[in-house]
Amino acid sequence: MTARKPSPARAAAPALPEEKISATLARFVEPVLQGLGGAPSEGALRELFALAVAVWNAHVLAMPAWGDPSALERVREHLRGPEAPLHHAHVFTVLSNRRVELFAGDPRFVREWELTLAPGQPFGLRCKAAIPQPRVGKASR
């Protein structure tokens, strides 16, 4: 008599934070944003959020739920490459450390983002996120 292998179970979906992804990203960039001074230019803000989303998404894709561990290295190489401005490598390091320390379990991938600016107002950030779909394991026979 042979033992029957248990049927594969669905992998549990990672827990999702209650905070909107836009609010999470705004907190994520805080240390770099503070380094830009009191009233950063529109261009500086857009560049910061483009970098932040690239770093955020690379960390997300490297999570087991997304299954692309090389994503982080690809972004790191790009932001430290010869054509990247020198400050990009620093921003990558600061944001990567912050991601690991404060947001490591957040599996949300930023699909779209929009930054809105109005004179005399704080910036507005709108985002759409995707979450990983639970995978069904294959039964081996």
84 domain residue, yes or no: yes
CA distance 29 to 54: 12
The pTM for the full model equals 0.83
Please state the domain count of the chain: 1
- Full residue range of the structural domain in which residue 65 is found: 21-130
DSSP per-residue codes, 13-26: PPPPPSS-HHHHHH
Per-residue pLDDT at 103 exceeds 90: yes
On the question of pLDDT at 4 being above 50, the answer is no
Distance of alpha carbon 40 from alpha carbon 46, whole angstroms: 10
Position 27 in a domain: yes
What are residue 60's phi and psi, to 5 degrees?
Answer: -65, -50
Percent of the chain with pLDDT over 70: 85
Is 121 a residue whose pLDDT tops 90?
no
Q: Are 1 and 25 in contact (CB under 8 A)?
A: no
Q: What is the pLDDT of residue 13?
A: 57
66 inside domain: yes
Place of tokens 């490297």: 62
